Structure 1
Amino acid sequence: MLEINHATPSPSLQDQSKKPWLVQKFGGTSIGKFVETITGTIVQSYLPTNRVVVVCSARSSESKTLGTTNRLLRAAASAMEPGSVEFKQTVQDIREDHINTARQHISDPLILKRIEDELNQDCNRLLAFLKAVQTIEEISPRSKDIIMAVGERLSCRIVAGMLEDRGVETEFVSLESVIEAVFDVNCLDQNFYDYMSRVFAGVISKCGNRVPVVTGFFGPVPGSLLTSIGRGYTDLAAALIAVGLDAEELQVWKEVDGIFTADPRKVKNARLLNIITPEEASELTYYGSEVIHPFTMEQVIRAQIPIRIKNVMSPMGPGTVIFPDNASGVSTPTGRMTPPPSSKVLLENGYQLDLSRRHPTAVTIKDNVWVLNVHSNRKSVSHGFFAQIFGTLDTHGIAVDLISTSEVHVSMALGANVNEKAMEKAMRQLRSIGTVDVTKDMAILSLVGKQMKNMVGISGRMFSTLAKAGINLEMISQGASEINISCVILERQALQAMNVIHEELLSNVGREAESQYF
């Protein structure tokens, strides 16, 4: 369903057709706390040079429990309880929160009246839907999607109204019902995502010179959006829009300056990285640093579209560019040609940066890790030994982050949030093939860098640095690509380990990058 808000045409937006597309994604916290900066400064600053698409998450606040998405989930749960009226109050709280925000930031009485009417209409529909859920005492995954979609609708209405109030011609675009083709829930492969990017681009292209303000929630997705995609759906929507439009860039606006050589809250000398490769960003995300979901990033990078991480609290900062480093410089499916990674990259502030480096890029820590050891009760490992281990873990939904093996022994670092009961069941089954024990309160320390494969002795330097600091290694793992060297240590030593590694191997990374400007 496509809904349109028509505003008075802005002279500055008259001929947008020749400008390159730019997709800006704003998270819930950014919209909840910095919507004035987004609509008054950030979006408008790019309009002279780009056709801007704004993608919004549902509004959040200081507390995640008070965020719109979590409130909607609680309302859905309440509606399933016979006789409960809690969901009615939750909807009213959501209504008042958004209307008060609109009144605070929109000064034109006509625009404000229309936005208030739209917000009330959305909340009334939500309330009626929840009452129906309570009556039939059933809520399907698709019904939950319908409830959840309201958060993005409300958020986008406010952002569109505020932009219009500031003289920007806007168009509210809902992606809730744009998927018309039928797909098998078990076959959501790349063809499905290519289809979505084409559909999204088609809808947005119809906006003409208006700035599309787009819901991050889209559908209907086979199996439901929450089940099939998860809570990172807004990032994915922005990525698919960028691919479909062959955008110049995808900007992901957060409350941090970008990606650092280490967590700046834990390492005081951590420095901002101006540029990073997709492989490095994926590794950092997986091993503890919140960058952007690897699958979402994959959709953009495969189309050779740069991703820029920017800070809503510091819009003029350079941010961090995740740059598609197509080493061969060949054309991509979109026809875009990308230079090899050794060439210079133009940064937003007009400077250029050399992509070739000869040092690690960042160090990260993943806490709350468990180590599972399985020692075979035979003299050698049979061909079914590994299959039985991983089959058992998969049955109980236990993810493995790292693995280290010998002839008769397997050690595995398990991801955070391991379910204790599931682990107990898995261990009982695994004892049929050997001795099993588990160690808690561990952490994974990962050193990441695309060019580390060209650094002779980097592993030795890393481990000797930890040894000098008195930090014992429980496990060591290094991938064939040598982009990531990881080890498992005691969680209580994680902060110390991160700092000594950063001091020894990364303290000059940011300075070296700065010296490459010319």
Structure 2
Amino acid sequence: MRFLMKFGGTSVADAQCIRCVVDILEKHHKAGDEVAVVVSAQRGVTDQLIAIAEKLPTATDCSEVTPLVAALRKRHMTTLEGAAPDYLEEVGAVIEKRLASLQHILSAIHNLRELTPRSKDYVISYGERLLAPIIGAALRQRGIPSTVLDGCEAGILTTPQHGEATALCESDGRIKKRIEPLLKEGIPVIMGFMGCTGSGIITTLGRSGSDYSASIIGAGMDADEIWIWTDVDGIMTSDPRVINDARVLKSVSYIEVMELSYFGAKVMHPRSIDPAMRKNILVRVKNTFNPGAPGTMIVRNGHRDSRVVKALTYIDKVASININGAQMIGRPGVAKAIFTALADKEVNVMMISQGSSEANISLIVDESHIDAAVNALAALVKDGVVREVTHNKDVCAVAVVGAGMAGAAGTGGRIFTALGLAGVNVMMISQGSSEANISFVVRQEDGPRAVRVLHDEFRLSEECN
């Protein structure tokens, strides 16, 4: 079997975690499997790098850089010593060189008083740059040959959108050419989260982009399966912090996991399914610290049981925007003007609902984008395109997901009857043409209760054939 395995930040958080990772890889290597590995930065490191990079252009001095670099040195060298003591000097020198480079870049950002998207991408790629050599050394410590590559060296070619780049189709051939020979020699370790443009400029794939990297590499090397290793037993029927009897799903479809990930499920990156889906590769989500658990399979056509709803999720850090005006009725180009204004300010619209009268359009955006969105739409009010724009931060979006909802009569009735009986007021409803997701908006305080009511209504805690 040929596997691509990705390990997230919690799976590589310290030396003990890395030893668990190597146990898993060693088992497959000894069984004769071909395995390539994509790794994230250690938990919290990317957040630290983003925070300091964004602070430096306006900081009075760069005194915080040296303590950060020292903390990163201590953390990574301690991890290296615990995971691969025989390689402390060799790999320690690599880490030192990269930390020196990071310190110079951060100092330059402060001196220039400017953080460009390009330089930010380069800075935040250092979490993976510091960690991946340690994983490679830990494998060699067990006698398993390993080559460490960054995303560009592995063959990931992307669009030039810094911070949210997309892999290009040409990546497949590059990855196959570069990774396949290494699979015969040992286990290649690839830095997740990054690729490069055709001219070699480093780009990043967005937050949680290591999942996306894994899918890109897995598709390029024609993996039989892609395994996403995390700190939970699989994809669950709902957030266990909200639903204490939430259950691990045995199987979900590509479309279901895309809907769930977009609406707040933390296990998968929203775009990470695309490359696997293109090549019909089975994806598994498994627990690094409980490797014997079967996890969740993600396949083209998920297992259908007697329940049409498969899982529930919600996002609480969102805001609603209501755009009103009789002048919108029958007027071509209003929607275009609205979405162009928002796109120009880089505001991502998560949900849309429009009444048949055309006099009202409701939108859901990330809470952090609300000020930019309202300012962008104010110009349309001034120009008379719309009459009024109002917004509300006291909301959350709930998604009811299940491929079995397509063509199943009465599902919407069950959802909204259950919510009505529980006294939960629905403020906005949206459903896509796939019919795999019915999303709605409620007051923020009603979000957890809405999820619990529907989890009980569709008996999601019970095993079902």
Shorter-chain-normalised TM-score: which range?
A: 0.7 to 0.9
- Look up the equivalent residue of 1:323 and give its one-letter code: V
- Cross-structure match for 1:220: 196
Taking the aligned partners of 2:176 and 2:84, their CA distance within structure 1 comes to 29
Taking the aligned partners of 1:371 and 1:213, their CA distance within structure 2 comes to 43
| Structure 1 residue corresponding to 2:418, chosen from 453, 465, 489 | 465
1:28 touches 1:59 (CA, 8 Å); kept in 2? yes
- Cross-structure match for 1:363: 312
Taking the aligned partners of 1:119 and 1:393, their CA distance within structure 2 comes to 42
Q: Structure 1's 497 and 149: CA in aligned 2 closer, same or farther, altered over 3 A?
A: closer
- Cross-structure match for 2:80: 102
2:318 touches 2:397 (CA, 8 Å); kept in 1? yes
Gaps of 5+ in 2: none
| Structure 2 residue corresponding to 1:42, chosen from 7, 24, 32 | 24
2:156 touches 2:171 (CA, 8 Å); kept in 1? no
1:412 counterpart = 2:367: no
- Cross-structure match for 1:288: 264
- Cross-structure match for 2:187: 211
1:263 touches 1:364 (CA, 8 Å); kept in 2? yes
Any residues of structure 2 matched to 1:326-365 within 5 Å, and which? 355=304, 358-365=307-314
Taking the aligned partners of 2:143 and 2:457, their CA distance within structure 1 comes to 52
Q: Structure 1's 200 and 410: CA in aligned 2 closer, same or farther, altered over 3 A?
A: same
Question: C-alpha deviations, 1:476-510, integer Å up to 9, x for none?
Answer: 222222111122111111111111111011336x5
Question: C-alpha deviations, 1:230-284, integer Å up to 9, x for none?
Answer: 2333222211111111101111111111111111110122111010001111111
1:279 counterpart = 2:255: yes
Q: Structure 1's 399 and 73: CA in aligned 2 closer, same or farther, altered over 3 A?
A: closer
Deviation at 1:434, TM superposition (A): 2.2
1:495 counterpart = 2:444: no
Question: C-alpha deviations, 1:119-177, integer Å up to 9, x for none?
Answer: 22322343345556666666654444443333212211111212222232322223345
- Look up the equivalent residue of 2:49 and give its one-letter code: L
1:361 touches 1:506 (CA, 8 Å); kept in 2? no
Bigger shift: 385-394 or 357-366? 385-394
Taking the aligned partners of 1:488 and 1:175, their CA distance within structure 2 comes to 39
Taking the aligned partners of 1:148 and 1:500, their CA distance within structure 2 comes to 41
| Structure 2 residue corresponding to 1:71, chosen from 21, 42, 48 | 48
Deviation at 1:402, TM superposition (A): 2.8
Q: Structure 1's 150 and 389: CA in aligned 2 closer, same or farther, altered over 3 A?
A: closer
1:179 touches 1:221 (CA, 8 Å); kept in 2? no
2:158 touches 2:165 (CA, 8 Å); kept in 1? no
| Structure 1 residue corresponding to 2:4, chosen from 4, 23, 27 | 23
- Cross-structure match for 1:200: 175
Q: Structure 1's 388 and 150: CA in aligned 2 closer, same or farther, altered over 3 A?
A: closer
Q: Structure 1's 91 and 364: CA in aligned 2 closer, same or farther, altered over 3 A?
A: same
1:371 touches 1:411 (CA, 8 Å); kept in 2? no
- Cross-structure match for 1:9: none
- Look up the equivalent residue of 1:507 and give its one-letter code: L
- Cross-structure match for 1:12: none
Taking the aligned partners of 1:182 and 1:216, their CA distance within structure 2 comes to 13
2:317 touches 2:366 (CA, 8 Å); kept in 1? yes
- Look up the equivalent residue of 1:197 and give its one-letter code: D
- Look up the equivalent residue of 1:501 and give its one-letter code: L
- Look up the equivalent residue of 2:422 and give its one-letter code: A
Any residues of structure 2 matched to 1:176-187 within 5 Å, and which? 176-177=152-153
Q: Structure 1's 30 and 357: CA in aligned 2 closer, same or farther, altered over 3 A?
A: same
Q: RMSD of aligned C-alpha atoms?
A: 3.0
Gaps of 5+ in 1: 1-19, 61-66, 326-340, 342-353, 514-518
